[in-house]
């Protein structure tokens, strides 16, 4: 199967282009955003050298699934998905923080905890916790949103002190973050999964706070399987999970954490197919739908045709 690692389109009314770690973003008339979910994969804020077939489709369709399911919680940016790897939505003014919420001690929080730290982003973590144990209550641990390089942990107090977000907006984002996490947790439970942690991005549109970008995808979230969770926790075994964490662990085991001088390990075809299959597994488990991969040899050509057709029918 082929993968889509970058695009270079020139759409009618195009006013700007931005290439993120995973998405290629096109501005149309400074009113709409076209986000193309590529098959690039990043870890430790570094884009890995090879694409993962079907990854962009998984991300785009999982995001669409959850954006539609949470419109009653908070308005979001999405208008349409004219192609399996494309989302079209309203242009919003993004806040310069990402709202990370953690229900369990795992990933980054566990790595900090194991170093002896008992707070993260100014939020305390209880003594005596085991890795992958549930927090008494979910904790919000924001990060700065970097245009390039690494996002950094930051406390609520520092965000307000620096004037990155005004207090009334931050309080609303905290409220929406907890409500969205609760909804995601409920939806995951129905599929036999635990939503472990995730992040949300918000922006302003016409003075209203709007949910942006992706939501509850394997790039922005971790999931554990409910079955076997308690037993594995009791015996200190790694949890069976659906997330990108297994890619991070593979990189760590092969001496790479995105630090200066470290070399990205070779990605074999077998390993690439393993990653692709894990993404598809998550899609089917979290949505309860059968994944139908697109098998076009010319993915970019299909995307351009579908986006142009949508623009022609919807832009005056």
The pTM for the full model equals 0.89
- What are φ and ψ of residue 225, in 5° steps? -80, 135
d(CA 45, CA 236): 29
Domains of the chain: 14-93+254-314 (3.30.200.20), 94-246 (3.30.470.20)
Collapsing DSSP to helix, strand or coil, 78 comes out as strand
Q: DSSP per residue over 250-293, as a string?
A: HHHHTT-SS-TT--PPP--HHHHHHHHHHHHHHHHHHH-S----
Q: Give percent of the chain above pLDDT 70.
A: 98
d(CA 102, CA 243): 14
Measured from the Cβ of residue 50, the count of other Cβ atoms closer than 10 Å reads 18
Q: Which residues of the chain have pLDDT under 70?
A: 146-150
Q: List own/partner pairs for 255-264 with CB under 8 A and 24 or more apart.
A: 256/44, 257/44, 258/43, 258/44, 258/45, 258/46, 258/150, 264/46, 264/48, 264/49
Residue 289 contacts residue 283 (beta carbons within 8 Å): yes
DSSP state of 219: T
Tens-digit pLDDT profile for residues 123-177: 999 999 999 999 999 999 999 986 555 678 999 999 999 999 999 999 999 999 9
């Amino acid at each position: 199967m082929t993968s889509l690692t970058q695009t270079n389109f020139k759409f009618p009314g195009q006013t700007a282009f931005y290439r993120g770690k995973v998405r290629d973003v096109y501005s149309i008339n400074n009113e709409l955003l076209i986000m193309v979910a590529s098959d690039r994969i990043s870890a430790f804020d570094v884009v890995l050298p090879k694409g993962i077939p079907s990854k962009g489709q998984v991300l785009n369709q999982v995001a669409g699934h959850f954006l539609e399911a949470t419109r009653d919680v908070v308005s979001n940016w999405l208008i349409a998905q004219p192609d399996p790897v494309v989302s079209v939505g309203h242009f919003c003014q993004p806040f310069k923080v990402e709202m990370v919420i953690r229900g369990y001690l795992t990933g980054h929080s566990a790595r900090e905890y194991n170093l002896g730290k008992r707070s993260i982003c100014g939020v305390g973590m209880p003594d005596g916790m085991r890795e992958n144990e549930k927090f008494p209550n979910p904790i919000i641990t924001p990060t700065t949103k970097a245009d390039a390089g690494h996002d950094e942990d930051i406390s609520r107090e520092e965000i307000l002190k620096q004037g990155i977000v005004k207090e009334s907006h931050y309080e609303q984002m905290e409220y929406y973050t907890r409500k969205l996490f609760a909804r995601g947790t409920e939806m995951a439970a129905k599929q036999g999964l635990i939503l472990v942690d995730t992040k949300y991005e918000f922006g302003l549109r016409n003075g209203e706070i709007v949910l942006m970008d992706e939501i509850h995808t394997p790039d922005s979230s971790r999931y554990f399987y409910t079955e076997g969770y308690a037993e594995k926790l009791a015996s200190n075994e790694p949890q069976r999970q659906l997330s990108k964490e297994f890619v991070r662990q593979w990189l760590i085991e092969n001496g790479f954490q995105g630090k200066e001088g470290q070399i990205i390990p070779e990605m074999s075809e077998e390993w690439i197919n393993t990653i692709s299959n894990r993404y598809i597994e998550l899609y089917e488990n979290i949505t309860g739908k059968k994944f139908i991969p697109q098998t076009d040899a010319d993915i970019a050509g299909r995307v351009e045709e579908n986006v142009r057709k949508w623009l022609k029918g919807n832009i005056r």
